[in-house]
């Protein structure tokens, strides 16, 4: 799948994330719906960082327990590409940065 140029910025942002945050984003994509929504119980530091970067946003319509977020709403092609990749691999496989 080809990623539109306007979404490549977010690809670059994801590549520069710390390992733990990148893994959490991958888990959100893998476990979330195909439309990019997921309900979480609590906000972690990494979730807050992803919100601040604009990679995930709060879903203000949700009224249940916990809170709902939309994953990569500004980069739907990138979301679909990651979702397919993780489904093919059977889960999230993020390469650890070499130190």
What's the CA gap between 4 and 85, in Å, rounded? 17
3-state secondary structure of 57: strand
Q: What's the pLDDT score for residue 96?
A: 58
CB 71, CB 55: distance < 8 Å: yes
- Residues in the chain, pLDDT under 50: 98-99
Q: What's the pLDDT score for residue 99?
A: 34
- The whole-model pTM stands at 0.86
Cross-sheet strand order for the sheet of 56-58 = 37-40, 67-71, 56-58
């Amino acid at each position: 799948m080809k990623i539109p140029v306007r979404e490549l910025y977010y690809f670059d942002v994801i590549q520069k994330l710390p390992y733990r945050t990148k893994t959490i984003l991958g888990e959100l994509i893998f476990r979330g719906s195909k439309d990019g929504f997921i309900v979480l119980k609590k906000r972690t530091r990494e979730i807050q960082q992803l919100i601040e970067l604009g990679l995930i946003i709060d879903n203000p319509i949700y009224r249940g327990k916990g809170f709902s977020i939309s994953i990569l709403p500004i980069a739907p092609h990138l979301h679909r590409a990651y979702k397919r990749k993780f489904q093919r691999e059977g889960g999230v496989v993020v390469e650890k940065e070499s130190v």
